[in-house]
Structures are given as structure tokens and as C-alpha cells.
Structure 1
């Protein structure tokens, strides 16, 4: 009986220490997988690196630390490194075949990092969504819509879609369509629109604004108005010009007609 007890104690002592060591390694690895990426991101941001690059490398570092932790835990139970390489190689092949979509997301993230079609803070339209880029991670890209809804898109979908980056250039062209009644003076309306545009300091004088008659519509004569401005002034200027043109038209007696139809009634004798 005493021999059995001694043997049980020996097993518990031997494997119990291995289990405790594995738990300690897991805890340390988990903590390091949090702290190392954060420290790396902070250091890169202080050095002036783009947040897109620092966030991506931070995400990659986290998964690397977790993978190394698993290797150390298995080594704690006597699994040889060579065996681990073989096991991970075989597992990697199987997982790669099963998770082709996930690997394509990783590849998409790498391509986004290399070619940089967008960066954190840009307002873009891609994969059917439009919003401000918050993070580009190892597997997904996170953006916030103008009404502050979180959108998470797989990197593979982003890389496989066209990207319209509205923040890439420092300036943008604004297009407005302004209609006047057929009875109004075209030259006067054109001069009024130009005066309103030039009075707003947000509108660029070079390139000069374009104000031309573009269409003789059913109920109005339509001007195409094209104005250049700084990227950040696009919407404030658009709202301001729309309001100012309407108010100035009212003062100058120029009307913006409602859609209307003229019906001719033919009566017989």
C-alpha cells in the first residue's frame, strides 16, 4: 500500500510541476502578448510611424507571442522542438486548406500595408461601405460610418474591392446643380453665383470656379457649378454655398422653380 501511495505522490509531483509550469508560462505569455504589442505601438507612434503600420505590426506581434507561448507549453511536457516543427507544419497545411478565407485575409492585410491605398483616419468607400478607417489589423479592417456605427470588414474583401479614398488628396472639387426659371436672366444668375462663391474664403480661386449652363430641363435652366476647396472644407462649404445662393437669389429676384408640367387640353367642336 505504501508503495502505491509513493508512486502516486511521485506522479503527482512530477507532472504536477509540469502543469504548474505550463500554467505559469500561459499566464506570462498572455500578459506579454498584451504588453509587448502596446509598447511597440507606442514606441513606433513616438518615432513618427504611420498608425496603420504600427497597429498592423502590433497585431502581428501579438499572434507571434501567443504562438511562441504554445510552443513553450508543449516543450514543458517534453515535446521535442523538431517534433513541434513537424506537427505545426502538418497542422499548418491542414489548417491552410480549411481556412483559405482566413489566410486570404492575412494576405490582404499584408498587401494593404505594403501598397497603402488607405491609412488610419482616411475616409474611404470600399467593399460596399463608407467610413473613417480606425484600424487595419492582421485579419480585419475596422471603420466608423459618419453616424458612428462600427463596421468590421475582412481584409480579403477590402483588398479585393475598389477603394475610393476621399482623404488621399489635400483638395477636392465640389459639384453643384443650380436651377433658375426660364424667365430669369441667365447672365445675372451666373454673376450672382460667382459673387457668392468668391465671397466665401473656403473656396479656391485657383483653379477658378466653373459656372456654366449645362441643361435646359423640363422646369428650369440648370447651371453646373464646380468649386475647388480644401478636403476638410468640402461639406461646410457645400452647405454654406447652397444656403447663400438661395438667399442671394431671393434678394435679387431670381427664382428657383418647382417642377411643373403644362397640360394642353384639346376640345372638339
Structure 2
């Protein structure tokens, strides 16, 4: 079969015409996509800065949560721009959104424990049961809070050990915050064998507490009989001090009480 030059030329010409139409059409789409990407990137940065700036003006709002929400807003804008760019090339955005939703669901199921930590971290940052620099105890976890992250909280134990606790563990249990209220109470108990020295023992304990400037005057320290036993009477010295002085005051006052009650007419702790 002989090739007709006229038909061949017409077919080639038709092919070039179609390529030209496609080139013009997709070049416009490409230019539009580039413009969308540039503008979207700028808008995403502007939204991130606006959210961060607005949240920083809220008194007491945590810096970590501010950065997280600002980053989320930025990526939300970028995802929206990405969907619009794909739409420029004729891709069905409905199917893209459905695919993103399905992928998000799959990732959420795979990272369920991690997402629990993130949700707990957000709640900890919003409700603030503890802050950086405070001493806490949550179940078997205790120490000084050094950093509150979205996934975990870093603490330093009393022994100076590094401790990284998952946020979900800290959120799902009662929190003991030894620093938050500013004051802490302590009891020092001594035992005497003779009821005749009870008043003298109480006066000695109160004198020890009054001599220490770290002991609060309000509420005033008290000394009282806390337990009666066979041949033994327990007397308790109860006092308040600032949370920061609690450990040192407890140790030094205990030592002073022991020194006072080493005398034969007194009693031992």
C-alpha cells in the first residue's frame, strides 16, 4: 500500500496542531500552578506569623503550643494550595481530598499511641497542671519539670537522673504538684516516755521552729500530742515553709530537734 503524501502531511499537520493546543493549554496551567505555589507559600508564611503573633499576646499561653498551632495553620494552607495546583492540571480534587482523608485515617490508626501523646501534650499545655521548674509526682514518676513537649515531658529526678515521660502517662493520672501553691507543710515527730515532760517538749519544738527564719509565721507552727501508746507519747511539730526551702528546712530542723532531745530529761526522735 502506497503512502499518500497529501494524507501523511495532513496527519502530521493535525498532530502538530493538537500538540500546539495542548502546549498552550498546559503552559497556561503550568504558569497558573507556579503562581499559585508562590502566592500560597507567601500566604502560608503570613498565616503562620499571624497565628504565632496573636497567640503570643495571650497571657500565659504556652510557647510550645503556640509554635505547634502556627505550624499546623501553615501546613493546612500549603495542603490546600497543593490541591488547587493539582486541580489546574485537570485532576479531580474530590478524589484527592478523599485520598488525603483515607491516608490520614490510616496514619492515625498506625500512630494511635503517638496521637494520644500529642492530644495529652496539648491538654497539658492548655490546662497547665504543671510548668517548667515545678516539682511534680505522677504515679511512679517524680522530678523537676525541665521541658514540656508535644510528645513527652522531660524531668530531672531528685537523684539527677534524666527522665522522659510520655504525655499520655502524665495526663491519665493524678498530678501532685509540690511547687504550685508556694508553701508546703512538714511534720517532725518526737517520742517521750513521761507525760510530765510533754509541755516542756512542745515548748522546745516551738522554740526550734521560731528560731528558723524560713518557717512561716502564718500559719504559725504548732506542737501537739499526736499519738498515745504504751509507755510512749508522740509529739508532732507542724510548720509551713516555702516550697523552695522545704527540703533544706526539713533536714536542718530535724537535726536541731535531735540535738535538743538528746538530754536525759527529754526524749529521742
Which bracket does the TM-score occupy, shorter chain normalised? 0.5 to 0.7
Cα RMSD, aligned residues only? 3.6
TM-score, normalised with respect to structure 2: 0.67
2:193 aligned residue (173, 181, 189) = 181
TM-score, normalised with respect to structure 1: 0.67
1:225 aligned residue (223, 237, 244) = 237
Point out the structure with max Rg over C-alpha: 2
Aligned to 1:242: 254
Per-residue CA distance 1:4-56 (angstroms, 9 max, x = gap): xxxxxxxxxxxxxxxxxxxxxxxxxxxxxxxx99xx79x96xx8965x81133
Aligned to 2:15: none
- My pick for the range that moved more, 55-64 or 188-197, is 55-64
Question: Structure 1 segments of 4 or more deviating over 4 A?
Answer: 47-50, 59-84
User: Would the aligned equivalents of 1:59 and 1:137 in 2 still touch at CA under 8 Å?
Assistant: no
2:153 aligned residue (122, 126, 141) = 141
Unaligned runs of 5+ in 2: 1-47
Unaligned runs of 5+ in 1: 1-35, 258-269
- My pick for the range that moved more, 197-206 or 179-188, is 179-188
SS, match of residue 161 in structure 1: coil
User: Would the aligned equivalents of 2:62 and 2:126 in 1 still touch at CA under 8 Å?
Assistant: no
CA distance in 2, matches of 1:60, 1:219: 65
Distance 1:197 1:229, change over 3 A: same
User: Would the aligned equivalents of 1:123 and 1:166 in 2 still touch at CA under 8 Å?
Assistant: yes
Q: Could you tell me how far 1:89 is from its partner in structure 2?
A: 1.5
User: Would the aligned equivalents of 1:181 and 1:256 in 2 still touch at CA under 8 Å?
Assistant: no
Distance 1:192 1:252, change over 3 A: farther
SS, match of residue 118 in structure 2: helix
Q: 1:90-239, aligned counterparts within 5 Å? A: 90-182=102-194, 185-217=197-229, 220-239=232-251
SS, match of residue 226 in structure 2: strand
